[in-house]
Every structure is written in structure tokens, then in C-alpha cells.
Amino acid sequence: MFAPKSVAVIGASNRKGSVGRAVFTNILLNEYTGTVYPVNPKDRSISGVRSYPSVQDLPESVDMAVVVVPAAVVPSVTEECGKKGVKSLIIISAGFKEVGQDGAALEHQVSSLAQKYSLRMVCPNCLGTINTDPEVRLNASFASQMPVEGSIAFASQSGALGEAVIDYAAGEGIGFSKFISVGNKADVNENDILEYLRADPKTKVILLYVEDIVDGRKFVDTVTRVTEEKPIIAVKAGVSPEGAKAASSHTGALAGSDEAYNAILKQSGVLRVESIIDLFDYARAFAKQPPPRETE
């Protein structure tokens, strides 16, 4: 999912200021080493590149599709991707679980289709993913800039915060190995990401911004295993009751009590910090050091 050989951007657009334009040009203009196809039912070309009316019209199947179409169309697009043999989806579109019952039903529909076709999915309602590895160079997000290469991976449940972090890191000259905004976690969740990052040779330190945790028991297991190899530093949202409410409205998830999370994080060896600035201060220190172990 971080290193596809070909990507389709479904909902790519020529309209200035649109997310469909931002995502397509982010892939196109940042020296992606694979092939990117715009999919748009109206325009003949997007940013100078031949466009295709639908996924089915593409001249080959693609490893990944980034979906930037209205929520109501996402199920039919998911089905088309499944039929075409696409392996993974990043659904950037919002309008799912986070907007209420109708959205949740739509999200469930998309999840069922993904299962039917064995599609892995990031999101919906996310900023996308970024891989700075020179062998890939994929910015499949609508972030306003491509981070420089580095050894820090950042996984954020909030797209808006993710973008702020990319901007902050750029100003500070901090590089990333991977960036991922997980959105509503309809399929891929923090545990999948942590397992991936554990094995990623480009990542030395893992930063998390979490609003809720899907499966607390599995999270503790996963994190305990990962922190034996790489440090994890986390900012947990929702420390105040207002924050918890904000976190809930972002992604439709319920934030647990702060005390419970604190216990989980501490138990599993995660360093919890209070702010994004702290997150990077620690990350920079750890990026230069071997992983912290109590036995050392």
C-alpha cells in the first residue's frame, strides 16, 4: 500500500483548489517512480495527462486507487475497483461514519464490498499517505507539500492535524520515512500500520496521533512487540472532555477515558507526550539513538 507500482486517482480534477487536483498533482509532481492515471468522467486530460472515464477503462489494472469522489459514489467506485483487480484503496472522501447513521451505513457498505474483493482500504475521511523512499516517492495525499526523506514515520488519525504536522516539520527541516492519515479506520487501523512500520527499514522512530483505539488488547500486544525494536511516541487527543468530543466528531469513534489510555500506553512502552512540539523533540533525539529498552 505504501509502494504501489501504479496508482489511479479516481476523481482527479483540473479545477483549481479541488482535492482531486491536489492529490493528482501531488503524485505527478513529486517524482513518483510508478505510473499514475487520472480517472474523471468529463475531462480528456488532467494536468496534461490522458484521463480515463472510469477505472474499467484504464489500460491496465492498478495496484492502488486513491478515491476523491462524493461519498454516495464511493460504493460503486469500490465495486469497480474490485472488479478491475485493484489491490488497495485510499478513500479520502468524507461523509461516512463521522456524519452520523447514514454515513455509517455507507461506510459499512464500502467495507463489505472491500471484503468481497479482498481490497485493503485506508480511511475513509483521511488526508492520504506519503512515502518519501527515493525508490517510490509517492505523495498520495492532498497535503500542500512533500516532506523530505527522514527516518521518522508519522501516523495520524486526524487529517487536519497531519497536514499541520507536515508543515511544522518542513519549517523545522524534519524528514519523514512514511506519513499516513488513517481516517475512520474502516479497514486498516493503527495496529496494521504499526506492524508495517516495525518491519520498514526506512523507519527508526514511530510517531502516533491517536483519538481512539479500535482494539485495545491487540494494540497493547502490537505496541509491546514494536517497541522492542523501535520507539513509539504518541500524542493522545481528547485529554479534556471538550477534546474527547472533538476527537469523536472527527472520525465518529468514541474516545475512551484519558486514564484508561494512559494506562494502555504506559503498559505497552509508548512514550506519551502532551504536544506536537514535544513529539518532534523526542523524535529527533530518538532518531539518533538505538531503541530505548529498560534492560539497557
Pick the piece of the chain touching a second copy (CB under 8 A) from 31-39, 91-99, 158-166, 177-185.
Answer: 31-39
Nearer to a second copy, 33 or 257 (CB): 33
Distance in angstroms (rounded) separating the CA atoms of residues 153 and 223 = 15
27 binds a second copy (CB under 8 A): yes
Question: Binder to a second copy among 3, 15, 41, 45 (CB under 8 A)?
Answer: 45
- Considering only 31, 195, 221, 274, the residue that binds a second copy (CB under 8 A) is 31
What's the residue count for the chain?
296
Which lies closer to a second copy via its Cβ, residue 37 or residue 154?
37
Among 17, 42, 59, 242, binds a second copy (CB under 8 A): 59
C-beta of 29: minimal distance to a second copy in Å?
6
Q: Is 29 in the site for a second copy (CB under 8 A)?
A: yes
Question: Is residue 35 within the footprint of a second copy (CB under 8 A)?
Answer: yes
Q: Among residues 17, 42, 44, 101, which is the contact residue for a second copy, using CB under 8 A?
A: 44
State yes or no: residue 224 binds a second copy (CB under 8 A): no
47 binds a second copy (CB under 8 A): yes
Q: Which residues bind a second copy (CB under 8 A)?
A: 6, 27-29, 31-37, 44-45, 47-50, 59
